[in-house]
Structure 1
Amino acid sequence: MDLVAPVVVEPLRRRRCAECHQGPVERMIVEFNQVICLDCADLGHLVFLRRGDTALTRRAREGSTLWAVVVRHNRRRTRYERQGLLVEEEALARAEAACLADTEARARRRARQDTEITAALAAEILRLYPGCPAERADAIAAHAAAKGSGRVGRKAAGRALDRDAVLAAVRAAVRHVDTDYDALLMTGLPRSQARASVAPAIEAVLRSWRAG
């Protein structure tokens, strides 16, 4: 049997319940062209869940024996638009707990993936530069693979341990940490000139790391 959920309206103007005469009502149903408040409509025990979280809405609706759709009239668009649902409080609590568990599981999975990416990148750095201190390799890998940074470790080439991508990450780290490149930029020196100035120092560090 198909389920037909009650439709609850958020009125745009002050209205009173035709049965208990209380008002103004925040939400109502309309029966035989009369305004009925939620308490009189036997929906007063339900709680409001605003639209927006699809998973939470689905779980709360599926777990609620009784639920209702909440709408409000949009005068500009001349139509009723869904605002959310009214669901049983216990169903909403269960849905929130389930969504939280999913969020925590996804966070753990992403953290594990980030750790694996960083470890693989650090290992590749040490393979290419056996003389690089392990803590520097770890720091370079962590910086390059920082989530949301857009750096090489988060790009396809970096995740695939592309040689050129790894070399670029190491060179960039040496440029900023082992030379006075940043200080030169702060003097107003053009970037191309600053890079040319520190190039010998970068090559000296990389040569010593390659030698092992």
Structure 2
Amino acid sequence: MEPLVVVEPLKQRRCADCRRGPLERMILEFNSPSCLDCADLGHLVFLPRGNAALTRRAREASGLWAVVVRHNRQRTRYERQGLLVEEVALARAEAACLADAEARARRRERDASRRAARDVRFTATLTAEILRLFPYCPLDRAADVAAHTSERGSGRVGRTAAGRALDEGAVTAAVRASVRHLDTPYDTLLMRGIPRHEARRRVAEAIEATLARWRGPEREAGGMGTE
């Protein structure tokens, strides 16, 4: 069954029945324009296009509805502008969409709380692993490294698969990165225009000295890494 079609005229038109005009919207019957009141559609309200869920619900709830179109001269075609639906149907559709939006918002809040709790647990686990590998690292520094590298959306080592699995190489890389930026002049070298690889070479010895000190004397021999 073809839907009723209401046209938004580009030119000024008058109703063929009641002579009222210019018409904002009209229906063509036998190629003659009729206003919505004369076409028994005046009680409907306009719902602009743009919200697919609201449009679908309003159309389904409305006993009478019509498609509103306007001619696009550049594209030489009629384009949908929205619907005319019963006011009570639109109100019901808006209420349903609002309930859905509230439900989605509550679900997002619950999901965010669960993610935050998981992040807190993982940060604590990562802190413990850093202290296992570097028992002489200060506790607050280990916690800062864990929080920084595991920050959601950061793309840092702690968010990689290896980092989440507490891979020793990934955890060590996170600690090494922290030492590089906070305990050496690496960032200053970069700001002076020193190429990254050269800047890393210059600070490599200082980084390894700090890592060795944090590992402790009992692990120093086997704990040295390369930059």
- For 2:58, the aligned partner's letter is A
Highest CA radius of gyration, 1 or 2? 2
Q: Any runs of at least 4 consecutive aligned residues in structure 1 with deviations exceeding 6 A, and if so which?
A: none
Q: Which has the higher contact order (CA 8 A, sep 6+)?
A: 1
Q: After superposition, what is the alpha-carbon deviation per residue over 1:169-198, rounded to whole angstroms, capped at 9, x for unaligned?
A: 444444334443333222212122222333
Residue 101 (structure 1) shift: 1.3
User: Helix, strand or coil for the counterpart of 1:86?
Assistant: strand
User: Helix, strand or coil for the counterpart of 2:41?
Assistant: coil
Of the three residues 177, 183, 189, the one matched with 1:184 is: 189
Residue 139 of structure 2 is aligned to residue 133 of structure 1 = yes
User: Which blocks of at least 5 consecutive residues in structure 2 are unaligned?
Assistant: 132-136, 217-227
Instruction: Provide TM-score, normalisation by structure 2.
Output: 0.67
* Match runs of 1:58-137 below 5 Å: 58-87=56-85, 88=87, 89-130=90-131, 131=137, 133=139, 137=143
Counterpart-to-counterpart distance in 1, 2:96 and 2:155: 34
Q: CA RMSD in A?
A: 3.6
Deviates more, 1:66-75 or 1:130-139: 130-139
Counterpart-to-counterpart distance in 2, 1:67 and 1:209: 74
Kept in 2, the 8 Å contact 1:64–1:91? The answer is: no
Residue 122 (structure 1) shift: 1.1
Residue 139 (structure 1) shift: 6.6
Decide whether aligned partners of structure 1 residues 12 and 155 sit closer, same or farther in structure 2, where only a CA change above 3 A counts.
farther
* Aligned residue in 2 for 1:21: 19
Matched residue pairs, number?
Answer: 207
Decide whether aligned partners of structure 1 residues 154 and 56 sit closer, same or farther in structure 2, where only a CA change above 3 A counts.
farther
Decide whether aligned partners of structure 1 residues 127 and 47 sit closer, same or farther in structure 2, where only a CA change above 3 A counts.
same
* Aligned residue in 2 for 1:33: 31
Residue 90 (structure 1) shift: 0.9
Identity rate, percent: 53
Instruction: Provide TM-score, normalisation by structure 1.
Output: 0.70
Counterpart-to-counterpart distance in 2, 1:184 and 1:152: 23
- For 1:107, the aligned partner's letter is R
- For 2:15, the aligned partner's letter is C
User: Helix, strand or coil for the counterpart of 1:189?
Assistant: coil
Kept in 1, the 8 Å contact 2:7–2:68? The answer is: yes
Counterpart-to-counterpart distance in 2, 1:196 and 1:75: 66
User: Which blocks of at least 5 consecutive residues in structure 1 are unaligned?
Assistant: none
